[in-house]
Structure 1
């Protein structure tokens, strides 16, 4: 084992317990220090912004504690409160305060990004930072570019030679299949014939950039997407640097939505089954 990634979400005890995390922040910090003391693998955590009770001051403290902890890397993820989730039901029933609205989440993302940049962390993707060279996040980076990946272990996913697979996510079922000499696959399927286009888009957007001109030159049909370049630039989501589009800070905040729009456009233009829906992406404002 050379890397451990843990979903801390927040170091604030009240925030943690509001979303079902049992340990208090001090205990989590102590466990991270113990894990680091072994000096055996890269230690990485996830933090979320926009959680109930997580004010801007609490978020500042979360990111500062991340740096103080000395861990090797971190993801900063936006909270999405989906309409039928347990968290949204708790909010509707008054058992939890509302999550931060999108405008506040955007400010939280901006602070986290700029603070880690100022502290000398290396940006590995639109939402992932590394403190040192022990954390490279190769799986997350290469998977989006379509690199051949052989999955190993419960819940692992990968793709090889045009086939995508995921191993069973349920540990008892995974172990049972192994004991019975069966391959513990949840699914095995052919990738889309246009997977190379989609992987290129996902990989580049994960790095906060997109060479739209080169993408259009490779395939005739996606040429209809050309208008998205100046349109998204007008909205301030990316800026053309003379060679390609680079996502602005606002574009990095909306990266997931922008990438999904591009992928849906490719599906439509290449004749694949498409379902484009206009709806709220989450229950918060």
Structure 2
């Protein structure tokens, strides 16, 4: 197969299955990075992830564990790019309010399903715009990589968190606690919403001060300094004649509440979905 992605814990391949000719994504997990597959717990995790089916999630179609500790996960292949590239493409579609809202609602529905639609809640643990695939022509989002941290050992799991921090998606409380949670997933969603509405990167490469390195901090300062032009892309308002600035600012406020430094102050996914439906009507 063709290598389409690499990380410290494994490699992604695009491959064509011999019998059916279908194109699949094969995720090879390095033996040194995973938990032992002969444990009851491991089989339970694979079964749980294999049961997950939702229109906004990339399903796990198959799994193979070899006798040398190697593990292979099989997923469908979607060749239409990810949300991070879409936001920064300069494409007219990326500033359309209807697209921004429907993508956010799709991601939120997927997270809500993981948190409340299963027998046991599943924490995504590595949500970022690069892990949201977009299906054309409707730009329907599909989240990948959910629950992957459950298959990795502590060292590899910590590496995922370190990468997440370096890319600007890690909730502040994870510096003290190592366990990802529903609340840390909500924080990552908030960062993605800020990306969608502002077009900015989650990490500010040229911060004016220490407190402007991460996007939520940059936005907090922009609010305090009344820099409205930094909060959202003005082209969004031009994309829809019926759209009011108040509506875009409500979306921005929701994103900022998801990024609250205190996990207990963040809304849960049901509350996020209710707010998004209200924003859709305004």
Verify same fold: TM over 0.5: no
Between Structure 1 and Structure 2, whose CA radius of gyration is higher?
1
TM-score, normalization: structure 1?
0.30
